[in-house]
A and B are shown apart, each in its own frame.
Chain A
């Protein structure tokens, strides 16, 4: 050919590389320019801006080549984040070019940029229709391009317009066109589900196409569609099953498995047929991705029953081998699947504790973080401490893992950076596994106290400040729930308070600490020092801590000044004035709640200090009686989360009826006059409550279990050392716990009403408080105590039932898989506003069985058709009823004339059974049609 004309270098080049050459040079220039101007961002930006303005000019030029060139460059620049939607009309022009090459560029640009612009989509519709006209073999590529482009440009009207064309293309002789048509139909179905409903069989027939790629496309499309609405495809399952059994292409098998996953979710009947086949597939296949998908299918398709240990083990064994593989991807995905299986029944994975522990030390932090989610499933009493130890050890910035290199014995140290996110996850995990099921796995609360202390220290440096709340919450929970551990927990809390660093960096932990301090301040002897300490620190505290702190201070003060009779009134006075001066500024706090509470306390304390001035003998009644009565009326018990809210909803307040009738009121008033100040303490009512509730304390001692006592693991945290460390801590701590005699003497100072309560309640406390010092303790109690200490099995109070407890979820609740999902949903609107999800496939199904109209006719006016159908049905039932009444009438007539009541009854029965039969058949008809149409 070259002889026909003198070829220039350019021409030769063009023929050598017959594509892209047209604009190659200038695109090349652009790319080269970008590379040349790479040194500084400013330079690059300057260059890009220049290139962009060039493109702008070129795109406006009447020369099509230049325009195409510009569009291509813009498409490239789009990758650099430049918006090209302004060029949409130019793109449209290029798309409409008759030259394939330009068309291709146009469609490429369109798919990158169009979906933003609904106006341009309208214009594109006509073009698409034209391009989709398939006129001959030469058009294959053109149609192919158009079909590919369709998926980005499709709109509901366009979908409705072209679906007929596409269905004709399904019968094309070329597999390529069939395949492209199927893929394009996918988008059409999403926009225009009626098309699928009306041509379901035609489409499903493509599953049996001769060409594998067509089958693959059909399976894929059905798979994707079934994700949105699986119902209509269930009837295809025999056919799909057939394909699954016969086909050997792994790509298609995976698609089919996915499809079956979707179907099985809504049709449980599939399980008995599919499950054996899938298990067989798992045995026979060599491809890991197929294996993975099989297990996925079993798990996600609800094929794994809660008690089906056989299948679960088969799956888990495979995963186990995956986990041992050297491929980190396999380890990762099997971790994820492990989690899902564990979610079905935790018992399935409980035996894999060794594996999980190994995964916790994986080289890859992302695998570790997946393994953390598994911990909940494997944790039990025996390995809890071990697991926590493993986790705590990882709180370093750089971990080192020894890895075997090659087949030799040589190992290499691989440093691993531990990201903060992972540390936060670890803190949460530790807290979760220790506290789950009301501390079911935890039997050594002293150890847990140490762990919480460690966590408090570690959490300071982490950015997630809510960790402080969680740790504090744990301290508070064991304080309330584990009465026998209160003194130890108290030391931990005081330790936390003492640590200036924690105060500084993690004030969120203090909220619950202060609450506990206040609530259980009877454990503290020198409350005045504690109050002083708090004053030194108070500059750190945010408002929400301050809210808790104010009443807590009051509680501490109350317990402190009533601790013994021989308290120095002068000391009380000074503390009192300290408190007053502390509350003073808080009365002007910006936080409303703080202000209110401060004012309340302030006023009371002012009264108290006035009383102090007047009363030189001992403490005034305000401090000895009234102040404790604020807080000590009854013991607080744990309630489950949300109970308070539920209670609120249960309470109906009657604001109408007066508390007392006129006469009663008069009587009370009279009485009051007689009694004077005897009626001052109205908590008698509450006291009744107390005495009954206090009895729970006796449950503290579980029957000791000797066997457990002996099985202390040696490898666990060195308990011995821990013990001694803690003891030392306690001794050095100025807030040593108050002593037995204090309590008794205190009781004696109380009013009669109170001593009754006190005597009843703190028996258990007394003993525990004086662990090391008190010699007068009676022998049996001591025995009990020592046993308890060995075994570390402590009674944990469960939540009080106040209102009906909500049913607790039985399986893993875990920190639900890192919050995925959600966000992307709302955004997708322009490009793919699919109507399929909500589309009711059953709607028009009534029609064919009744009137037998052809598919073609129904296609157009489904709305009218529906109405017609409804009418028709209505008529039919009416007719039926008419028949019935007619029949009945006849019967009646007969009975009247001939027989007595008895026989008439019989006949009625007969007729009524007929009637019900008829009704059945009426109900049946649409169902039958259901199967036939779709």
Chain B
């Protein structure tokens, strides 16, 4: 197989990440690399890795909360990409397709770990008892002050996997609901609804933490 290459040496515009870089600054450029990678060009595949590695790794890390596991999942996602890249036909954006592939790898891992996730459908439809509380009735406490990163990390980590996934894709990674719906084979309305429930659950968790700290 082809020569070794360092994905960290990709052209600077390919290295730009952070935020939704797959709303391509240079779509023709990525399309050309993608086309080359589809023909087995290892250098082009390394460039694709360079462009997408941060978001895929970050997604894995946020979903499993463990560095070693996230590294393994990132590796597996890109290996699957290598095996399947020739089948990409451009029906969706490449980043959407790649994220869908990575999400399936992550969900497979969660299933292996014994979490009650059998399919994306179940991920998108948590048990009723996992739902957020409503906010009518007794007066509510507002979240006070700035949200602490560790507190938010813990709250996100405690979310049911389906809610966590939607929250990460939309609020952390910046995907739009139509993109998430395409990734998860669900309706846009379902994506909106799950995101809303995820935020409500996070609010519940953060307020509980805040109350516990006040009482300590």
The answer to whether A binds B is no
A residues sitting closer than 8 Å to B (CB atoms) are: none
Q: Which residues of chain B have a CB within 8 Å of any CB of chain A?
A: none
